[in-house]
Amino acid sequence: MENENFNSVDKQDEGLDNVEKQEEALYNVEKQDEEQNLVEKQEETNGAESPEGTTIITDEPITEEPLKQETVFTATAEPQKRSIFKTFFGKMLKLIILLLLLFLSIVYLPSILQSIAIPLSTYRHVEGKDAAELAESREILEKSISKLDKELNDLIPEDCYMIINSTDNVFTLKRGKEIVRIGRCSTGSNSLLESDKKQKKWLFKTPKGVRTVKSKKTDPVWTKPDWAFIEEGLPVPGPTSPSRFEEGVLGDYALVLGDGYMIHGTIWQRYLGLSVTHGCVRLNDADLEAVYKNLNKGSKVFIY
Amino acid sequence: MKAIRVFLYIIIGVAVLYYLAARVNAPIHKAQELNQIATSDTSYIKKYSAIAKYKELLPLVKEKAYREAQLYMSKNDSIGMVINFRDSSANLMLKGVCIQTSKLVDFKKDKIFDGVEAPAFRKIFSKPLHNIDEFSTFAKVPIIIKKAPKDTIEAMRMATLPVEPPIDPAYVKYDLEYGIKLLMIQDSCDTPEELVVENMFKTELRKQKSDDLVSSLVNIGNPKYTPTIVLTLSGKDVRSIYRALPEKADFVMIFEK
């Protein structure tokens, strides 16, 4: 029994030894497989193209340790590069950058290049180097400039003058370059009155240009022209008819500008600032008085 | 596939380079054309040899030129305009007297004027530039036609209270001598109507610009180019300037020193 027992123990020991051997053999096979895989990968890496399209050729002998390191490096770096440039967003980014460059070169670059090229391209047939000639020319130019300045200054009236803006219906009274008074006025309505009788036409427009004050009147009487009757649907009276003369409608003063045009007052002061007249310039009472006092016979009136 | 892509890139690159060359060449050619107005006149160049020789005299030439132009304009009976780029103002002048000064909200001056040399500058800008043609988005003289009434009853019926005229969007284009274009545009666009008019005006300008561009692309040796000055003013100022100026108005420009 004891022998039988001993035999069974020996068998058990033998069985354990066999298991250990099997495990060791399995480990060795796995290790060999791993090494084989590594060698295969190394071979693949050596023969494959890099992402940039160049073939890596190495003369160094292939060893196990460096092989493992290189294999690990190649295996991790390659997918990273692909993720940036080969993705949809990467391609889109490249396209956007290209289009942006194209847009900038079409829109902004020409004007930048023009600003550089135009001054550089200017033609200069002779470049002078005579300092005396330059100084002399400079002096001549400076003298002629000061002479021209004097001539231009002489054009500005020293006395009071009036400027009338017929678009905005404002006037400015000036003495030299100094402003004396600014105010509202009324100028021509730019309306054209057409009469069936005799096919006559009148354009109620304030004439633009320079005029001079021909005469000054106090308590002026308006001599009504033909159009004043036609406009009201009335028959035109004779030239000396009393209905031609109307008092009080032109205010206290009138400054005659010629050709039937005047600067005068008005009973329609609420229309000042509007283009409503038949060509004359209407002012309010206070402005009219100031203009009357400051402008003399011969004073200039600039109308635009 | 890769070869096609490279070929496409080369084609685009060459097209862009050609476009840039045409765009740069057009104003250079125009500047040379303006300079030749003086250099082709040998007697003129002989007379003003010093200003042709010394680059340092150009600021003084500019100073003299605009004064001479203003004086020349003062001899005319009609209203003229002085555009002062130094203090950003547009001035209406009549007989040498400044009758209105409008502040420029903004202005754009063509770079070509930097390429004009002293002799040409003297020849071109020492006299006012005449207006050859003009276009505006509003009437110069808004005339209202009225029929005379037959009797007092009809006159009473026709009588209406005076109202301010409608304010139209203000955009003006002047075609001046030497192929220079002057634009006056209002500074703001508040109503839909103003926007429509502004777009129409800008479309017209874009059309002219694209015509010039096509011309410079097709004919690179002799391209067409229109030097342009754009003045931005208040709508009120644009209207009053345009209505004040006669149909064949004169323009004087005061450039930076």
Radius of gyration of chain B (CA): 23
Residues of B in contact with A117 (CB under 8 A): 24, 28
| Residue spans of chain B under pLDDT 50 | none
**Rounded Cα distance, B244 and B238, in Å:** 10
Q: Which residues of B82-117 are buried (b: 16+ CB within 10 A; e: fewer)?
A: bbbbeeebbbbbbbbbbbbebebeebebbbbbbbbb
Note the pLDDT of residue A265.
Answer: 97
Q: Which residues contact B21 (CB under 8 A, 6 or more apart)?
A: B220
Residues of A in contact with B63 (CB under 8 A): 141, 145
Note the pLDDT of residue A133.
Answer: 87
ipTM of this predicted complex? Answer: 0.86
Nearest CA in chain A to B24: A114
DSSP state of A277: B
Nearest CA in chain A to B239: A167
CB contact under 8 A, A122 and B142: no
- C-beta separation of A300 from A161 below 8 A: yes
Note the pLDDT of residue B205.
Answer: 87
**Rounded Cα distance, A73 and A76, in Å:** 5
Confidence grade of residue A107 (pLDDT, cut at 50, 70, 90) = confident
CB contact under 8 A, B145 and A191: yes
Note the pLDDT of residue A51.
Answer: 45
Nearest CA in chain B to A197: B148
Which residues of chain B from 185 to 224 reach within 8 Å of chain A, CB to CB? none
Q: Which residues contact B114 (CB under 8 A, 6 or more apart)?
A: A115, A118, A119
**Alpha helix ranges (H) inside B75-191:** 118-125, 152-158
CB contact under 8 A, B97 and A157: yes
Nearest to B215 by CA among B35, B64, B23, B81: B23
CB contact under 8 A, B31 and A121: yes
Residue A23 has pLDDT above 50, yes or no: yes
Residue B91 phi/psi, 5-degree rounding, is: -120, 135
Nearest to B113 by CA among B67, B73, B58, B70: B58
Residue A48 has pLDDT above 80, yes or no: no
Residues of B in contact with A193 (CB under 8 A): 146, 148
Q: Which helix (H) or strand (E) holds B3?
A: helix B2-39
CB contact under 8 A, A155 and B95: yes
**Rounded Cα distance, A245 and A217, in Å:** 15
Q: Is the dihedral of CA A86, A91, A97, A101 positive or negative?
A: positive
**Alpha helix ranges (H) inside B151-191:** 152-158
CB contact under 8 A, B67 and A148: yes
CB contact under 8 A, B28 and A118: yes
**Rounded Cα distance, A218 and A198, in Å:** 36
Q: Which residues contact A110 (CB under 8 A, 6 or more apart)?
A: B19, B20, B23, B24
Q: Which residue has the tokens 């192929």?
A: B179
Question: Chain B: nearest CA to A57, how far in angstroms?
Answer: 25
Q: Which among B79, B149, B236 is the nearest to A233, CB-wise?
A: B149
CB contact under 8 A, B79 and A210: no
Which residues of chain B from 35 to 54 reach within 8 Å of chain A, CB to CB? 35, 39, 49-54
Is A183 in a helix, a strand, or coil?
Answer: strand
Confidence grade of residue A267 (pLDDT, cut at 50, 70, 90) = very high
Note the pLDDT of residue A63.
Answer: 47
Note the pLDDT of residue A3.
Answer: 47
Note the pLDDT of residue B129.
Answer: 97
Q: Which residue has the tokens 């289009």?
A: A99
Question: Chain A: nearest CA to B195, how far in angstroms?
Answer: 24
Residues of B in contact with A276 (CB under 8 A): 162
Residues of A in contact with B77 (CB under 8 A): 209-210
Hey, which residues does B230 pair with through a beta bridge?
B108, B183
Give the pLDDT confidence of A168-225 residue by residue, as tens digits: 999 999 999 999 999 999 999 999 999 876 678 999 999 999 999 999 999 999 999 9
CB contact under 8 A, A163 and B162: no
Q: How far is CA A160 from CA A138, A163, A175, A216, A293, in A?
A: 38, 10, 4, 15, 10
Q: What is the DSSP string of B93-109?
A: EETTEEEEEEE-SEEEE
Which residues of chain B from 99 to 138 reach within 8 Å of chain A, CB to CB? 99-100, 111-112, 114-117
CB contact under 8 A, A274 and B19: no
Q: Which helix (H) or strand (E) holds B34?
A: helix B2-39
Note the pLDDT of residue B50.
Answer: 83
Residues of B in contact with A278 (CB under 8 A): none
E-only strand ranges, A185-282: 191-194, 201-204, 209-212, 215-218, 221-223, 245-247, 253-258, 261-264, 281-282
Residue A26 has pLDDT above 80, yes or no: no
Note the pLDDT of residue A71.
Answer: 47
Mean pLDDT of the residues in chain A: 81
Nearest CA in chain A to B45: A125
Note the pLDDT of residue B88.
Answer: 96
DSSP state of A262: E
Q: How far is CA A169 from CA A182, A264, A282, B197, in A?
A: 11, 14, 10, 26
Confidence grade of residue A9 (pLDDT, cut at 50, 70, 90) = very low
Percent of chain A with pLDDT over 70: 69
* Mean pLDDT for the stretch of residues A64-80: 49
Q: Which residues contact A97 (CB under 8 A, 6 or more apart)?
A: none
B165-170: long-range pairs with CB below 8 Å, 24+: B165/A275, B167/B235, B167/B239, B168/B137, B168/B138, B168/B139, B168/B197, B168/B239, B169/B137, B169/B138, B169/B193, B169/B194, B169/B197, B169/B198, B169/B235, B170/B136, B170/B137, B170/B138, B170/B235, B170/B238, B170/B239, B170/B242
Nearest CA in chain B to A231: B148
